[in-house]
Structure formats: C-alpha cells, structure tokens
Amino acid sequence: MEYENRETFFPPSNRCKRCSCLDGSVLCLDVVCPPVTCSEPVTKAKACCPECPVCIHHGKQYEGGSHWVSAVNPCHTCTCTWGEVTCLEPECDVTCQHPAQIPGQCCPVCRDCYFEGNIYSNRETFKPDACRDCSCKDGDVLCLPVKCPTLSCRQQITKPGSCCPLCRGCMYNGKEYQEGGTWSAPTIPCMTCMCVDGVTTCSAIHCLTPCVNQIHVPGECCPLCADCIYNNRIYSPGESFQPSSDPCEICTCEVMLDGEQHLHCYRHQCPSLVDCPRNLIVAPSPGHCCPSCAQPLSNCTAELLGSELLSSADPCYSCHCKDLTWICIHQSCPLLSCSVSEQFTPAGSCCPICDECVVEAENHRVSDGETWTDSVDECITCSCNLGHIECHIKECLSVICHDGLIKVRSPGQCCYECQDPRISCSYQGQRYQSNQHWEVDECTTCTCISGEVHCQTEHCPPVTCSSVLWNGKSHLEVSLPGTYKGQVCGLCGNFNNYPQDDMRIRSGQIVTSEATFGNSWKVHSNNQSRLLCPDAEDIDPCKQAGYRARKEANAKCKILKSKVFEQCHAVVPPEMFFSSCVYDLCACGSNIDDCLCDALEAYASQCREASLILNWRSPTLCAVGCPSDRGYVFDECGPPCPKTCFNKDVPLGVIDAHCFKPCVPGCQCPAGLVEHESHCIAPETCPKIIYGNL
C-alpha cells in the first residue's frame, strides 16, 4: 500500500504497530495500551488494546465491572457485567415476623408491624376481624381468638360484623326488645310482655294484695301497700321478697314519683312454651316459678310468617309468627254468671263455659243464646253466650218536643217520646197527671202515659223459710234452704258458692266498693215520717285512726296467723279474716279488746263449720267468765239448743235438727245436768211439767 508523506497508519498485519511515512521512509513504533479497570477486558477485532465492556442503564453509560446506585430506586445497587446491568436489593437483617417499611429507609424495621396490608404501631392493639384480638409488640403480631360468653338462651343469632352469638331478642309492634326484657303492652292496659328465648309472651297482670292498707296510684294497675312494711319487717327501696311459700308471688319495695315508698306485689309471669311437646315440659325446680322445655323451641322463620300455634303448656296462649318473633298473647276468660260447680272446660279449650246464664238481679236462668231486656234499665239488652252475659246499651236520638208537649218514657221503653201533659189518668178513684209515677204496693208501680195507665209488677220467687241469727253484738247470720241456691240477690250475695261475684249491684254489675254495693240495695219507703237513709261512703278507719292505731291492730290481729289457729289455716285461709280484724280494730276506738275477740270468734266459727274445734281462748285472751256458783262451765263447742227441764226427754238429735249451727261457744251445763231457771241441776230434780206449764 502507498502512503502519503507524514501519514500515520497501522499495518494490517500488526495492529499493535503505529507507523509513519516520513520523506519516503517508514518509521514504526509499538502501540502503548492504556490500563483497564475491569477484570476481564475484551480486545475487539482489528484492534490492538483490550477494552472494558460498556453498559447503558436508564440513558447513562457505565463501564464494565462498575457499581452504582440506581437512580430509579435508591435501595437498589447495580453492576455492569459483560455489558449487562444487574440491580440487587440490599440485604437487610430482619429478625421479626412482620417488620414495618418506613419511608426513606431501604430496610424494614422491627419496631412497628406490617400485618395483612396495614402498619400498626408498636404496642398497638387492633382487631383485623370480629373474631381476633391482635397486638403489635416490637414488630411481632400476636393474635388471640375472641372468647364468647356462655349463653343460657336457646335461640341464638350472630349479627353481621359480630363474632359471638347473642340471645335472640323479640320484635313487638315494630320495636326490638332484648332477651329477658319486660315491658307494658302499649295497646292493652294492665298487660305486660316478656322476651324469653326469642318468644314474646303477653298476659294480664295478676295482682296480689297481701297488706291491709292499700292505695290506688294513677297509672298503676294493681293497688299498692301504703308502706314497705310486711310482717313487722321494713324493706328498703328495690328490695324484693316472697310474701308466701309460692315462688311465683313477688313483692318489691318501690319509690313512687311522689317520693313515697310502697310495696308493689304481683304474680310472676311465665313464658309460653311454644310448640313444646307435653312430654318435654320440665316442671320448675324447688324455689323456681316457671316450667321449661327440654328441647329448643322452634324458630319463627320467614316461611312461618302469619302462622299460628297453640302453646302446649297452656291452651290459653295463642302464638303468632310476626317480625320473625313468636308473639304469644294470653287469652283472658270472661266472667261467668253460673256457679263454679256448673262450669266446665271443653277438651283443648282455655276458658270454662256454662250451658246457661244466671241473671242474679232478676232471679232466673236463661239458655245459651237467649236475649233479654234488663229489668232495671230498658236501654240495656243482654244475651247469654256460653255462661257469659254480654250487655249492650241502646243509644237514643235526641227528642225535642214542640207545641207544649213534654218528653216522657213509657215503661218497658228505652227512648223518650213527646206527650201532651194535659191528658191525665184516673186510677182507683184518683187522678194522676201525665208522666206521673206512683206505687200501688211494694211490688207494683204505675205511670200515666197519654191518658193510659201502665203498671209493672215484680214477681217474687216462692218463699219457703229463712232464718236470721244475731248474737246481739257483732255476729249476724242469714240462713236459707238449698232451694234458694242461685235464686237470691242483695247484701248477702247470690248463693251460688262463688263468693267472687257477690258484690253485684241492682243492675247486675260487679263492683269493688262496699259503699256502692250497699247503697245500691237500699230500700226506699213512702213513709215520709221516716228519716232518709244517707248514702254510705268508703272510708279507711286505719288511715283516720293514725299510724299507731294501725300498728297496734296489726300486732293484735297477728294471732290469727300464729300457732294458736294454725290447725285451721289449711281449711280456712286466715288472710281475709286478718284484714277484717285490722279494719275493725282501727274503727273500734277504746273497745279494741272486745273487737279483737269478736274477730277471732268469727274465724273460730268458720273453723267449727269445717269440723275443726279450736281451744283458742286463754285466761289472757278473750276469756269468758261463766257463773260457776250456778254450775256453768265454758264450752268452745257446746249444743246450740241446751237441754232444759222442758226438753230433757226429747232426743237430742231432734232438737239439733231445729238449730242452725252444729255447736256454739258459751256457758253450758256440764254433761249429765240440765238447765233450769239459769241454774244447772240434775234431771231428776226437775219439777213436774203438765202440758208444757209448770
């Protein structure tokens, strides 16, 4: 090859020689190669010196074997090897299971915790879900399962977002109530509801009245005791106790809105055992009130909405599935007019029924389905429905009379009508004005209506015989033969062996006020010379007498509940007599001992009627002094008709048949003696009697 003068070139045969053409001569020198920094340099073809390979990373050139920090991720260290870039994360010494990544630091630290996508501070507690409780400690996460409380209810649900099941509450009228809660039914007065095992049970409040001094508080269904004292013990607000051996009876001392403390006593309500087979109903254990079911009760599901079930435990409960809750309502039974002995309950039914109704005020019976008009108020129409008397009041239109006419109401008619007052009536020689009323006799009343005389006569039942006994002080007894059973009315009741309905007034309505009851049966006389009997009023003698008198009366009457009369308690419950005793002693004033003896004798008399003779008198308690000098001794159960010289030869059974009591307490002649002129003598010393005369 030919080169120009002063031209430099590398011979093709040896690239490591550098030659120059200088004035026709060639001068060649060895090429000096620069030092390389890489461990494995490369000599390219047609080149003399080795070179390090070059890497391109994110637009920058890096020589082979060089190291650098990535411009994209400062935590990555990159290396150029044979023209290839390799970037590596730093090696971090992490000892915890869930370290936290802190911004600006390449390695995570173990003080905080990274758990399931979230960072938690050291010592922080957290709940990743409803069933785990977790805590972060030095980068480690410790999780424990949630402990659910043991539930006593059988109907349990787990709400969304919750871990533990809850006792299923109840829905009633669109409102949710907690398990075990109680509330008053908003639509029915004096009815309470309770939520047990997801079942709502509603029934009327059963009141208890264990005290004598009762008060009625507005808004309260049951009468309250005037204070929180029972059996001489004072109870504190909120304190409860059982007034008897019945575990279902509860009394609680409550503080009313006026700040006064009163005893509220009631009968505990038991839940309805919906759809529980009778063979699985478990009786209450000692000291407990309500039965239970041995298996879980059926749920009120969406498929059962609108369904109805009858409770196996009590046919009076009817249960409806509503709002996913069984709502059980206790059916209240109507008051029957017939006696208890005539009532019967059909199989599977809740309430007893009768084949006929007894109209007490009119002394007659009517068949089931029969309708009649009330004898006292013509506007009242009644019907007999399986022993229950249902009455309706007719409403009359307003009557306005013109042209001098006046409003009158004809006998037997309910509504008024217009009548000419100038038309009079003549009856038995006397003239009566229009609408004038008069009595013909005690049973017949007449009215002049539009010139006509209308009379009504009350028909009385046939009379056989009756007796009235009075001891001259406080004991009065009216005796009637059995033929009068269910045929009487008035102050002595209706004689149907069911004392609860004796307080009926003339209209047939049952009342609770003694004064209203007594005033209803007053007899009016035409004799104007007699003073009119004023209406009686209900009074509380213990309230008038004061606290000390009531306390003394309670203490003295308490003997009725003591061992002295204990033998008779099971046959004749003493509670009613105790209440009457306290009432009488408060009203007695200074003669409290005499009144106490009368009250105790009244209870002992009922015990004698039940064939229980109590020797309750003592020298310090109602002792009876008999004239021993005339031979008399006291006998708690002596013959009511004593033997005398006049009847000593008559058999005792014949005499007793004419008496009204099997025995009476009092001064008697000892056995073997007879009475004559207020002395006890031997029968053989009696004077001779001729034709009943001495």
Q: What is the pLDDT of residue 600?
A: 93
Quickly list DSSP for 75-92.
T-EEEEETTEEEEEPPP-
Measured torsion, CA atoms of residues 71, 77, 80, 85, in degrees rounded to the nearest 10: -70
How far, in Å, CA of 688 to CA of 694, rounded? Answer: 7
Q: What is the pLDDT of residue 558?
A: 93
Question: Quick one: fold of 351-393?
Answer: Complement Module; domain 1 (2.10.70)
Kindly report the CATH number that applies to the domain delimited by 624-693: 2.10.25.10
| pLDDT above 70 as % of the chain | 86
Picking from 494, 443, 373, the residue whose alpha carbon sits closest to that of residue 505 is: 494
Asked if the model's pLDDT at residue 641 lies above 70, the reply is yes
Asked if the model's pLDDT at residue 415 lies above 50, the reply is yes
Q: What is the pLDDT of residue 133?
A: 93
pLDDT band at residue 513 under the 50/70/90 scheme = confident
If DSSP codes are grouped into helix, strand and coil, which group holds residue 600? helix
Asked if the model's pLDDT at residue 653 lies above 60, the reply is no
For domain 406-456, the CATH architecture is Ribbon (2.10)
Measured torsion, CA atoms of residues 403, 408, 410, 413, in degrees rounded to the nearest 10: 110
Q: What is the pLDDT of residue 692?
A: 31
- Tens-place pLDDT, residues 428-478: 778 888 778 888 776 677 888 777 777 776 655 444 556 676 666 667 777
How far, in Å, CA of 670 to CA of 631, rounded? Answer: 8
Q: What is the pLDDT of residue 531?
A: 53
User: Is the pTM above the cut of 0.85?
Assistant: no
Q: What is the pLDDT of residue 623?
A: 85
How far, in Å, CA of 494 to CA of 298, rounded? Answer: 48
Asked if domains 99-145 and 351-393 share a fold, the reply is yes
Give me the residue label for tokens 């009817």: 318
- Pairwise pLDDT comparison (675 vs 218), residue with the higher score: 675
Element (H, E) at 681: strand 679-681
The total number of residues written for the chain in this structure: 694
Q: What is the pLDDT of residue 656?
A: 45
Q: What is the pLDDT of residue 424?
A: 80
Picking from 386, 371, 375, 366, the residue whose alpha carbon sits closest to that of residue 508 is: 375
* Sequence-separated (6 or more) residues with CB below 8 Å from residue 541: 583, 586, 587
- Average pLDDT of the segment spanning 508-529: 76
Q: What is the pLDDT of residue 462?
A: 45
Beta bridge partners of 195: 200
Please work out, in degrees rounded to the nearest 5, the angle formed at the alpha carbon of residue 538 by the alpha carbons of 532 and 539: 115
| Distance between first and last Cα of the chain | 200
| CB of 142 closer than 8 Å to CB of 131 | no
Task: State the chain's mean pLDDT as an integer.
Answer: 79
Least trusted range by pLDDT, from 42-51, 302-311, 367-376:
302-311
Q: What is the pLDDT of residue 661?
A: 58
- Tens-place pLDDT, residues 531-546: 567 888 888 888 888 8
Q: What is the pLDDT of residue 413?
A: 75
Best CATH choice for the domain 99-145 from the list 1.10.357, 2.60.40, 2.10.70, 3.40.50: 2.10.70
Q: Which long-range contacts (CB under 8 A, 24 or more apart) does 218-221 make?
A: 220/264, 221/189, 221/190
- Tens-place pLDDT, residues 106-158: 888 777 788 888 888 888 899 988 889 999 987 789 999 988 888 777 677 78
Amino acid making up residue 636: E
| pLDDT above 90 as % of the chain | 6
Least trusted range by pLDDT, from 85-94, 407-416, 571-580:
407-416
Q: What is the pLDDT of residue 681?
A: 92
How far, in Å, CA of 435 to CA of 448, rounded? Answer: 5
- Tens-place pLDDT, residues 255-309: 877 677 788 887 777 777 776 777 777 777 787 888 777 766 667 777 777 666 6
pLDDT band at residue 690 under the 50/70/90 scheme = very low
Asked if the model's pLDDT at residue 694 lies above 60, the reply is no
| CB of 586 closer than 8 Å to CB of 541 | yes
| CB of 171 closer than 8 Å to CB of 157 | no
Asked if the model's pLDDT at residue 554 lies above 80, the reply is yes
> For the chain, what are the domain ranges?
99-145, 351-393, 406-456, 465-518, 539-618, 624-693
